[in-house]
Structure 1
Amino acid sequence: MQIEFTAPLWQWEARTDSWWFVTVPPEHSDELADLPLPPRGFGSVRVRVTVGGSTWTTSVFPSDRDGGYVLPMKKKVREAERLTPDEPVAVRLETVDV
């Protein structure tokens, strides 16, 4: 499954030193939640992510923040793509292991 969306970059308030995320919109979070995936820690879903010219493999995680999944954004990617807080980030997710 491939999903494309745009959402703002935000920082987790509990750990302002390092944790940044983009929230997967509700309709796409519902699609991810419905996938028949092998059980993983915290209900995570493995994905291949592309933001700008950067592509990497990670997992998206269910979150209480907005009731959907969140995508952690690595510092290396934030710097390479010049991402700034609260600004929209264009994301392409491709599920892995499905």
Structure 2
Amino acid sequence: MTDLTLEFTAVLWASAGPGAWYFLTLPADSAAQIRFFRQRHPGFGTLRVTATLGGSRWATSLFPDKASGSFFLPVKADVRRREGLHPGIEATVSLTLSL
């Protein structure tokens, strides 16, 4: 098994729905690389990843977004606090997923 690691910069945004979820949307080129290397997705298309942002590292899942054709990366509250993130702020993230 090999790993795919991607780095990207995206703007943090808050979901309008209940639960106060915060996300980064992967750029189109990163989403295309993931689809190329990982063509079969279990369940409803989520992918387990390890994310690194600043000094924070956490295990999470990417969620497919049909509207944009990309993936959403949820950013946990403790990560946002530690890294000083708020909606509208750009963040650089490194993602690793097993292929």
| SS of the residue 2:12 aligns to | strand
Return the TM-score normalized by structure 1.
0.88
Q: In the comparison of the two structures, how many residue pairs are matched?
A: 96
Contiguous gaps of at least 5 residues in structure 2? none
Find 1:93's aligned residue among 70, 92, 95.
95
The amino acid across from 1:40 in the alignment is: P
Return the TM-score normalized by structure 2.
0.87
Find 1:55's aligned residue among 49, 54, 57.
57
Contiguous gaps of at least 5 residues in structure 1? none
Query: Percent identical across equivalent pairs?
Result: 36
The residue number in structure 1 matching 2:68 is: 66
Distance 1:39 1:65 in 2: 18
> What displacement does 1:42 show?
1.9
Find 2:13's aligned residue among 10, 14, 19.
10
Find 1:35's aligned residue among 31, 34, 37.
37
Distance 2:79 2:89 in 1: 15
Distance 1:51 1:65 in 2: 25
Deviation per residue, 1:22-76 (Å, 9 max, x gap): 0010011011122336642221111110000000111111113422011001011
